[in-house]
Structure 1
């Protein structure tokens, strides 16, 4: 896993869902559909695989090393192996969100 200085839309980019039914959850971009939408999946955060508009996503600096279109089971293994949730919890962004919920 790589922490990137620039937040480009790319396969493997972890995103925070800002609104909609899955607001407040993390998902990873599995495939880019077009200039407005991406296929996302959140294997450990409860987000089912679906297409989402980029307006509903806030890109994080966390990038997973995964191939395009990775299946959900293998994505879950990669998520756990690369400790995405642990990396997210250590960011100041996640800590601010946690403090607001208190």
Structure 2
């Protein structure tokens, strides 16, 4: 199946625009193809209609009946531990990191840039050392290879005879 997140009763979503931007809500009813009725009892979002294109659907779903009251939605929200699951999700952590980066001062950004530069230098030096070692033992491209020429010993530089200079005649 291609889609896993459907607009359905009980689906938890994040509001992407308007006064409740960034808050979690639960879909209570589908009004038509473009609008839904949402309620966010634990996130202080009143029961209201909202356009579907203003929602980001999450993987979380709670079980409550069609057009349930706010009291029933609140109970299902707590039973489903939606806020705990949301806080542990990668999506939530990315949003928190983005907010933290937005609050950095100029000096904090400078310190962060310097730390990244140092980290990258250490990483590059260790990578080059590993690559050099792999190149020497022949495992750079996956399989260990024999040196060219098989088992024949290579002649030393001193043993080479210079062919350019003719031998002296006597």
State whether TM-score is above 0.5: yes
Counterpart pick for 1:44 among 37, 42, 49: 42
RMSD between aligned residues: 0.9
Structure with the bigger RCO (C-alpha within 8 Å, sep 6+) is 1
* Aligned-pair CA distance for 1:95: 0.6
Higher helix proportion:
2
Kindly name which structure, 1 or 2, has the bigger radius of gyration based on alpha carbons. 2
* Aligned-pair CA distance for 1:101: 1.3
Cα deviations by residue, 1:16-74 (Å, 9 ceiling, x for unpaired): 00110100100000000000000000010011000000011000010111111110012
Give the TM-score of the pair, scaled to structure 1. 0.93
Where in structure 1 are there 5+ consecutive unaligned residues? none
For 1:82 and 1:23, the matched residues in 2 are separated by 22
Counterpart pick for 1:8 among 1, 6, 10: 6
For 1:92 and 1:42, the matched residues in 2 are separated by 21
Give the TM-score of the pair, scaled to structure 2. 0.56
Indicate the residue corresponding to 1:83 in structure 2: 81
Counterpart mapping for 1:53-64 below 5 A: 53-64=51-62
For 1:64 and 1:73, the matched residues in 2 are separated by 14
Indicate the residue corresponding to 2:32 in structure 1: 34
For 2:36 and 2:18, the matched residues in 1 are separated by 15
Higher strand proportion:
1
> Which aligned segments of 4 or more residues in structure 1 are displaced greater than 2 angstroms?
none
